[in-house]
Structure 1
Amino acid sequence: METKRYFVELSYNGTDFHGWQTQPNGITVQECLDKALSTYFRQEIISLGCGRTDAGVHATQFYAHFDLVAVSEQQLVKAVAGINAMLPYSIAIASIFEVAPDAHARFDATAREYKYYLHFKKNPFKLESSWLYKGTLDMQKMNEAAQILLKHRDFSCFSKSNTQTFTNNCKISSAKFETQGESLVFTIKADRFLRNMVRAIMGTLVMVGKGDIEVGAVEEIILSKNRSKAGQSVPACGLYLVAVEYPYIKMRK
């Protein structure tokens, strides 16, 4: 029987998961998704995601691809509701659609966008969805420092050690802080991200906002290529993957 490749678009609250990728010591988003897909379509399915989010990180838009014995478009539409019924409430499928046989959820992505949320007053409704920061921050200085990121390519200083990557080069196209009600939101977009990169960048920019380091020190940290020079990783709860772009998919936000 003919096998075809499909993309699944989903979102998830990462609070209760040990990240996206299947692992032996904790429940993951991929594990739940593959189980639901395999059960619904009655064949073993192993998906491959557009990236690897860490434990506690959320996604409002995430893509994965998988191969499946060909089904009709009408069957795919019906499958969305059926698979959603099998998934925990913290994972939701938006759509499943056929793509080219060589389409790749990870390698074909041309851009990814993350948002990081933090708030300054205790709020029970933001528990596990935003970082409660107990202090004040200079947003203007943080934005000045964020613009330095756009001038560089090698971000070894913001990457976890011992990662299996051929290069630590990334092209950041935008990075900006904005206020949103009582929250401060950092939005960053790039062609790719290293493991733990956004949380390490945030930790470094917070150091600028607190006044622990000057704006210009961010450039020195980047040029050092030394992870120990950068700030600590901020909590995972405030981080969201919000958009993944492909040349053959019209973006929906």
Structure 2
Amino acid sequence: MRLALGLCYDGQAWQGWQTQPSGRTVQDALEAALAQFLAEPTATICAGRTDTGVHALQQVVHLDTDSVRRDQSWVRGLNALLPKTVSVQWAHPVGADFHARFDARARTYLYVLRCASVRSPILQGRVGWVHDVLDVVAMRRAAALLLGEHDFSAFRAAQCQAASPVRTLQALEVEERGCFLVFEFRANAFLHHMVRNLMGALVMVGRGRRDPGWVADLLRQKDRRLAAPTFMPDGLYLAHVFYPQAPDLPLVTPQRALARHLGL
């Protein structure tokens, strides 16, 4: 049987998703719990490999097993074995041809940014922070210039292993919620550090250090050295994965997931 799991995790405690020799990754924690729960090693494949410090509201994982359990038994059994910073939200049987990574047609990340003169220790690691008042109108103008299919070389990490820097950014929205700004990024796929690098550019525009048209220049120049520094990972959340061939997966909208877990 092939099973899909929906995961939520606090990325602060982990060195990203993908297994590492240190064992301090979300994949390591999940597969250790599965090995204990099923009494055998079980490999997992995820929808998107999050980096160190990056969170997930709705990460999707699939695995193959001969074990037959009720959906809630998977949830309760695995959560009893997982660290408190990782939680299985749901379990759902899927077809043998379902693939958590390759069947995904879009991924949505949310970045939560707090704009306040003093940092909040309560929100440390869970939201980004700037002490400036940002120009939201200017950031929205810049965001509009980033939409569509582009070569995002100026916004990829030097260690990015993607075969092509071309991606299609389907949506980039900026919403004000009190002292918080919520940025929603949706694309067919993302390059390594792409969202954090886009955030760095948008914040620079919001601070008035560059005009909105600067981001279009960066797309044309395709030079990472000319762009803004990579922004902090603290407020970044993998919030949704779109599977047109698996519409019955119990996924909610990115905004509902954010409200459910952060109350925003």
TM-score using structure 1 length: 0.94
Which range is displaced more, 211-220 or 162-171? 162-171
Q: Equivalent residue for 1:178?
A: 175
The one-character-per-residue Cα deviations of 1:131-158 (angstroms, maximum 9, x if unpaired) are 2202221110000000011144211111
The 2-side partners of 1:14 and 1:249 are apart by: 27
1:169 Cα deviation (Å)?
Answer: 1.6
Q: Is the 8 A contact 1:12 1:58 kept in 2?
A: yes
Structure 2: 5+ residue stretches without partners: 254-264
1:6 is matched with: 3
Query: Cα offset for 1:252?
Result: 2.1
Per the alignment, residue 33 of structure 1 pairs with 30
In structure 1, the partner of 2:241 is 244
**Deviation of the 1:69 alpha carbon:** 1.1
- Checking the alignment, whether the CA contact within 8 Å between 2:108 and 2:186 is kept in structure 1 is yes
Counterpart amino acid of residue 98 in structure 1: P
Give the distance between the partners of 1:123 and 1:14, measured in 2 at CA: 18
The aligned amino acid for 1:77 is Q
Q: Which residue of 1 aligns with 2:78?
A: 83
Q: Which residue of 1 aligns with 2:42?
A: 45
Alignment CA distance shift 1:177-1:211 (3 Å): same
> Which of residues 231, 237, 248 is equivalent to 2:228?
231
Count the aligned residue pairs: 248
Q: Secondary structure at the match of 2:96?
A: coil
Q: What amino acid maps onto 2:125 in structure 1?
A: E
SS at match of 1:92: strand
Counterpart pick for 2:132 among 135, 138, 142: 135
Question: Structure 1 CA distance, aligned partners of 2:161 and 2:120?
Answer: 39
How big is each residue's C-alpha offset from its partner over 1:72-92, in whole Å with a ceiling of 9 and x where there is no partner? 5x2x32121011011011111
Q: Which amino acid aligns with 2:96?
A: P
Kept in 2: contact 1:118–1:133 (CA 8 A): yes
Contact 2:174 2:184 in 1 (8 A): yes
Question: Is the contact between residue 17 and residue 26 of structure 1 (CA under 8 Å) also seen in structure 2?
Answer: no
Shift of the 44–25 alpha-carbon distance from structure 1 to 2, 3 Å rule, reads closer
Q: Which residue of 2 aligns with 1:118?
A: 113
Q: CA deviation at 1:48?
A: 1.0
RMSD of aligned alpha carbons: 1.4
For structure 1, the residue ranges without an aligned partner over 5 or more in a row are none
Q: Structure 1 counterpart of 2:73, which letter?
A: K
Specify the alignment match of 2:161 in structure 1. 164
Offset of 1:11 from its aligned partner?
Answer: 0.5
* Higher mean C-alpha displacement, 195-204 vs 175-184: 175-184
Partner of 2:215: 218
Residues 115-174 of structure 1 show CA distances to partners (whole Å, capped at 9, x for unaligned) of 111112222221111122022211100000000111442111111124222212211111
Alignment-derived partner of residue 17 in structure 1: 14
- Give identity over the alignment, percent: 37
Distance in 2 (CA, whole Å) between partners of 1:207 and 1:182 is 18
Distance 1:63 1:77 in 2: 17
Q: Deviations over 1:14-34 (max 9, x none)?
A: 111001111113501000000
Give the superposition deviation at 1:231: 0.9
